Structure 1
Amino acid sequence: MWELIKDKYKFIIIVVPSVLLYLLFNSILEQSVIRSISYTTTLISILSFLIGKYLWKYVYIDFFKKNICPDFNGVWIGEIVSNFDSEKKILIPIEINADFFGVKLKSNTTVGYSYANYCQIIRTDSDQFELEYIFRTHNHSPSETDTTYYEGAVKVIVTDIDSMTMTGLYWTNRCWQNGKNTAGTITFKKSDKTFNSINASISEK
């Protein structure tokens, strides 16, 4: 998320607190120049970690979500329409953990689990927010014509920040050696449910 902030705002965020802290240590607390610089650097590093990792969530208002980056944190339900069977819609839950230092994505279902070894949020030239990731899936119960392990990629665009909906495309190399690798469309909607409750409802269908 940090890379989505414009350079001029990054400059303000870094320089202004640094100058104020330096003046605090040097002028008010009457520390030497070297100690003031050292204390300022240390405190800025600690504050940057705490704010960028944890505290930002408590002050991340709607203005920031629409102008800097949406809050991707939470559980999402994906609906897949595949070229393997275009009449069948597949539901898959994912969980995203994002902060100012990076984005992590994983999925656990009753038949396997997936995780992203590359995941990034991008702001396009048209000022839209795009999520792209490469994932690995481990299938716990493959059929005779299936595989236990495959990889794929997803690229989706946030089409509605208020309802947190993303749409786009995906592809996999699942059973590629048999010419059965899949691709299709995928739509994600943010949910307030947990993985377990989502998997339970999917299993009942």
Structure 2
Amino acid sequence: MYAVFGLKKVLTFITGLVVLVIIGLMVKESPTNFIEFGKTAWKVASGVVTALIIGGSIPFIYRRVWRFYEFVFKDAYPDLSGEWKGTIDSNYSVHRAIQSAASSPSESLNPLDPVKIDAISLEPFEAKLTIRASLLKINILMEVQGLTDRSDSYSVAATPVVAKNDEPHRLVYIYKSKHFKKAADDESNHTGAAEVQLRRHADGSIQMIGYYWTARNWRRAGNTAGILNFVRVD
């Protein structure tokens, strides 16, 4: 989550904190042996940086510090840690309709006809997100109940994008997905990506909504995509 502030600001903050500690040591100890003082200052500075990194990696500490940050700055990027529940509306139903028409001697469906495609409702699937965020990283685990089996996906890269002007905060991530019981014409694993907006409502709840897309069955134009819609419940 350090990317919320930008690497330059984080390094500036750490440098300023270390300088303040060293100045405090100089005022307190009034050193005459600057070699020994330098060694002490280096140890203290290293300890400060280590404590900051370790503290930011411990969920209990990180979540409380970040909540305080959100309390002070009302438009701050929210802490994403916790459980999220919602739905995935997939274009899998469109793929299925096109395949059915292609294999039928009587049915016809032009995939380039927007009227015909709009008439096909997206396929809704219940899903759950578990996000573990810390100062250094964001891990996202998604569980989706499909038509015949459950699939799990985990993030391999995730980046928070801070709002600019009137835009909402966003989250962009890439994930790997695994199907436990795949269909004969499906893939066991595939790569996907998502870009979602983070919307904070008046009651304090946070909604995550946006698009996802995959490289699933790309060679036969079977790529799935759709809409993610989640609300944090814990």
Q: Please list every run of 5 or more consecutive structure 1 residues that lacks an aligned counterpart in the other structure.
A: 193-205
Cα deviation for residue 24 of structure 1 reads 3.5
Query: Normalising by structure 2, what TM-score?
Result: 0.71
Identify the residue that residue 143 of structure 1 maps to in structure 2: 183
Q: Map 1:48-127 onto structure 2 (within 5 A).
A: 48-54=52-58, 55-59=61-65, 60-61=67-68, 62-63=70-71, 66-85=74-93, 86-108=121-143, 111-126=150-165, 127=167
Q: Please list every run of 5 or more consecutive structure 2 residues that lacks an aligned counterpart in the other structure.
A: 94-120
Distance, in Å, in 1 between the alignment partners of 2:73 and 2:27 is 38
Query: Normalising by structure 1, what TM-score?
Result: 0.80
Identify the residue that residue 113 of structure 2 maps to in structure 1: none
Taking every aligned residue pair, what percent have the same amino acid on both sides? 22
How many residues were matched structurally? 192
AA at the equivalent of 1:103: I
Structure number with larger C-alpha Rg = 2
- Structure with more strand by fraction: 1
Distance, in Å, in 2 between the alignment partners of 1:52 and 1:188 is 26
Cα deviation for residue 179 of structure 1 reads 2.1
Distance, in Å, in 1 between the alignment partners of 2:152 and 2:23 is 52
Cα RMSD over matched residues? 2.6
Q: Map 1:177-188 onto structure 2 (within 5 A).
A: 177-188=219-230
Distance, in Å, in 2 between the alignment partners of 1:152 and 1:182 is 9
Contact 1:4 1:68 in 2 (8 A): no
Contact 1:160 1:166 in 2 (8 A): no
Identify the residue that residue 203 of structure 1 maps to in structure 2: none
Is 2:27 the partner of 1:21?
no
Distance, in Å, in 1 between the alignment partners of 2:2 and 2:220 is 42
